[in-house]
Amino acid sequence: MEEKVAPEEVVRVEDLLPELVTPPNVHRVGPSPHLNWDELACKDPGRTPYPVEWREDRGARLARGYEALRRECGDKPLIVLSGYRTPEHNAAEGGAAHGQHPKGTAVDVAKPPHLTYGEFVAAAFRAMEKCPEIRGIGVYKHGTSIHLDVRLDAPDQRLEVWAK
């Protein structure tokens, strides 16, 4: 006989979090408590890893920006859609030729289900106020994700904001 599950017991895919499904004896290696190097790896067919030579500087800066955004989103898990991209993969994705993803200084993050897109964008700006390393925020008309970067080449520490 098939067992029925009460609606309140149904688990949604977006609620399955790496830190909850990872066994407690497995150490997640990454630049911060809620972000790991696999999440920042290129999504190309070879899953090119985040460059080791950038991890202590760029990776650490990016993790601080990500963690600031996570805190402003209620300290709930965020899904990284894109982090580092090889130049080839960046071009295939339609990314800016001199953008931040190939430099290892950007993440695209999915809108968490508990926030509206407006709340998510507002959280990104609050995160930027608390983490001055955030130098770029991109918003999209589709309203499903944002771009956050810690660009190293921001003149006079100017914030770059764009929409597409």
Evaluate if residue 79 carries a pLDDT over 80.
yes
Q: How many of the other CB atoms lie within 10 Å of CB of 118?
A: 10
How many residues in total does the chain contain? 164
22 is a domain residue: no
- 72 and 124 in contact (C-beta within 8 Å)? yes
Residue 164: per-residue pLDDT? 81
CB 84 within 8 A of CB 50: yes
> Does 7 reside within a domain?
no
Say if 72 falls within a structural domain.
Answer: yes
Residue 22 main-chain phi, psi, to 5 deg: -80, 125
- The type of residue at 86 is T
Domain count, the chain: 1
What is the pTM (predicted TM-score) of this model? 0.80
Which two tokens mark 139? 């918003």
- CATH number for the domain that contains residue 61: 3.30.1380.10
Q: Does residue 21 form part of some domain?
A: no
Bigger pLDDT: 147 vs 2: 147
Answer yes or no: are the C-beta atoms of 146 and 135 closer than 8 Å: no
Structure tokens at 10: 């149904």
Residue 47, pLDDT > 80, answer yes
Which range of residues forms the domain containing residue 151?
Answer: 35-163
